[in-house]
Chains A and B, each alone.
Chain A
Amino acid sequence: MKTVPCSAVIDGFDPTGGGLTRDAIGLGRVAEKGLDVRHGTILSLEDINVSFDGFKALTNLSLYIGVGELRCIIGPNGAGKTTMMDVITGKTRPTSGSAWFGETLDLTRMSEVDIAQAGIGRKLQKPTVFEALSVFENLELAQKTDKSVWASLRARLSGEQKDRIDEVLETIRLGQSRHRPAGLLSHGQKQFLEIGMLLMQSPQLLLLDEPVAGMTDAETEFTAELFKSLARKHSLMVVEHDMGFVETIADHVTVLHQGQVLAEGSLQQVQADERVIEVYLGR
């Protein structure tokens, strides 16, 4: 991979880092690499096509996310929102098109694990945490560190890492439940724990699929605050149905419909768009 001296390398990354190493079975992996974002774009999707047995889930989809941006994706059911996230995280391979993370990482050629280690975190639609482990242990597993088998066999938490976990526990307001098994948390608390796990990973790009589903109003409000504070340091892509929530957080909204971008702009702009009203808002 070519390395270019660049000014826009995100916090703490080595700008001279080489390409991602691939390890056949993941026994010894080198995690950290610099991310080249010199054009200010963290994610570029260009002409992505995905079809499942003839059904076109995404058609010529193009989308760009800027560094530090908070983007909301809205669209009716079946618009291709989750498929798009699957493409970004390597779960689904596009039939054609390109997906770049920064300027140099080709997401269509990387494995799911490589993509996660390169700095893309994802929260699933259904809150998924490690139910048999305690809240603290969930965060411990998620933290950014060497994730090879050998490293895990010898891993000990340093004081610094413990402090970081405490800090995140504080942020997601689960300090009281640190030793509770995650399976015993309420739905909203699980959502927060999963967000906390993403924070521990310190990814540059966070993909959040319906993060406030099943949350109380107070929790939703708190989440909005949290996301806004994250947006400066990270880039966020949020899929959400809750329009009130979108209105509070988003500076930029993309509307998907039938696997294509229908409209893009501020929420007011897209809400005024005739086609958007027709397919989605004016039900």
Chain B
Amino acid sequence: MNQPLTLTAAQKAGPKATVIALGLALAVLVAMPLLHLLPAEHALHVSAYTLTLVGKILCYAIVALALDLVWGYAGLLSLGHGLFFALGGYAMGMYLMRQSAGDGLPAFMSFLAWNELPWYWYGTSSFLWAMCLVVLVPGVLAFVFGFFAFRSRIKGVYFSIMTQALTFAGMLLFFRNETGFGGNNGFTDFKTILGFSISAPATRATLFLATVALLTGSLYLGFRLARSKFGRVLTALRDAENRLMFCGYDPRGYKLFIWTLSAVLCGLAGALYVPQVGIINPSEMAPTQSIEAAVWVALGGRGTLIGPLLGAGLVNGMKSWFTVAFPEYWLFALGALFIVVTLYLPKGVIGLIKRRGE
């Protein structure tokens, strides 16, 4: 870890090239939902499949960015970020289920012969309250977990294992029908959001644009944090926590802040993922999902903010292609990719681009 990881691609490849690349990417992402609104016969029409796929990848990119903030800067490798993503998704899903159920109970509850809503479902028919839950549930869980973990000075691999256990426990809990979140089927069959049909092109386009806005906002926030003194303290914390304490900084507050912020970003990404993809179930909390997120960050280059976005895009793009072309080989390809990155690209794709640029 003796390399200046805080140097961003922007500083190395020249700020101009990065700004142009980012601008182009943003223009394409804004154009896509607009082209989706064109009639289906039009040559430039973007299909609902493509739009959903890209929207899904963008949600994953936000997770990658959030994970980079805690792993790349503060050195906390979380193998449980899928939990925060899924919780945000479930909070949004509760609202969508209430929308499609109207005045009745959500369908899965009727199957279980329940007569009334569990207490934690109250108020979820309100979009505003659902949005509050999207932020509060992952945020409060991360805060409480982080408070105790950082107070006990748990770090390194022990911290990673605990986050992994946390998401696994969450998955087992949500698999149970009695938990009241639809068991292993989760939530699906959504119909409307805020009264608009969820499959209408205009709704899809709006959700997509909201995702692009969240991604851009998160990236901006990440850059501001990384360049502030706060970001430098995080880097210092990652490399020499003892030294930082002898300088008079209390690492706990710093870790807790970035950890909670990261969880909230994941929750928001999950909330945008669910209406676009149309389903949320406990498999989103599976440990492998969270590990895959770490692969995106490592592949893109941690501590670079832009790298993890590329990583999430590349891996998920490959995944959709592989699962169509050679479905049985995807996991081998993912494994091989991770090995190659670890052995030959310690600083990820961004590191490779930088080296080319020099």
Which A residues contact B (CB, under 8 angstroms)?
23, 25-27, 29, 31, 89, 111-113, 116-117, 121-122, 124, 128-134, 137, 140-142, 144, 147-149, 152-155, 181, 183-184, 194, 197, 201
- Contact among B225, B243, B253 with A25 in the assembled complex (CB-CB below 8 Å): B253
Q: Are A152 and B233 in contact (CB under 8 A)?
A: yes
Instruction: Report the 3 A-B pairs with minimum CB-CB distance, sorted nearest first.
Output: A26-B250, A183-B2, A116-B248
Q: Name the residue on B nearest A128 (C-beta).
A: B243
Tell me, yes or no, whether B173 is within 8 Å of chain A by CB: no
Shortest CB-to-CB span from A173 to chain B, Å, is 21
Tell me, yes or no, whether B257 is within 8 Å of chain A by CB: yes
Among listed B3-11, B275-283, B309-317, interface-contacting one: B3-11
Tell me, yes or no, whether B249 is within 8 Å of chain A by CB: yes
Task: Classify chain B: how many residues form its interface, as a range.
Answer: 20 to 34
Q: Are B247 and A197 in contact (CB under 8 A)?
A: yes
Measured between alpha carbons, how far is A90 from B94 in the docked complex, in Å? 49
Tell me, yes or no, whether B147 is within 8 Å of chain A by CB: yes
Q: Are B233 and A141 in contact (CB under 8 A)?
A: yes
Measured between alpha carbons, how far is A244 from B140 in the docked complex, in Å? 58
Q: Are B253 and A148 in contact (CB under 8 A)?
A: yes
Give 29 pairs: A residue, B residue, CB < 8 Å, sorted on A: A25-B256, A26-B249, A26-B250, A27-B253, A27-B257, A89-B246, A112-B246, A113-B245, A113-B250, A122-B246, A124-B242, A129-B243, A130-B236, A130-B244, A131-B2, A131-B239, A132-B6, A132-B238, A133-B235, A133-B236, A141-B232, A141-B233, A141-B247, A141-B249, A144-B248, A152-B228, A155-B228, A183-B4, A201-B248
- Known contacts A132-B2, A132-B5, A181-B4, A137 near B232 by CB under 8 Å: yes
Measured between alpha carbons, how far is A41 from B341 in the docked complex, in Å? 57
Q: Name the residue on A nearest B250 (C-beta).
A: A26
Tell me, yes or no, whether B230 is within 8 Å of chain A by CB: yes
Which B residues contact A (CB, under 8 angstroms)?
1-6, 147, 151, 225, 228-230, 232-233, 235-236, 238-240, 242-250, 252-254, 256-257
Q: Are B249 and A147 in contact (CB under 8 A)?
A: yes
Q: Are A113 and B236 in contact (CB under 8 A)?
A: no
Q: Are B4 and A128 in contact (CB under 8 A)?
A: no
Q: Are B247 and A26 in contact (CB under 8 A)?
A: no
Shortest CB-to-CB span from A113 to chain B, Å, is 4
- When distances are taken between beta carbons in the complex, the residues of chain A under 8 Å from B253 are 25-27, 148-149
- Contact among A25, A128, A140 with B232 in the assembled complex (CB-CB below 8 Å): A140
- When distances are taken between beta carbons in the complex, the residues of chain B under 8 Å from A128 are 240, 242-243
- Contact among A89, A132, A147, A201 with B1 in the assembled complex (CB-CB below 8 Å): A132
- When distances are taken between beta carbons in the complex, the residues of chain B under 8 Å from A147 are 247-250
- Known contacts A89-B246, A149-B253, A130 near B4 by CB under 8 Å: no
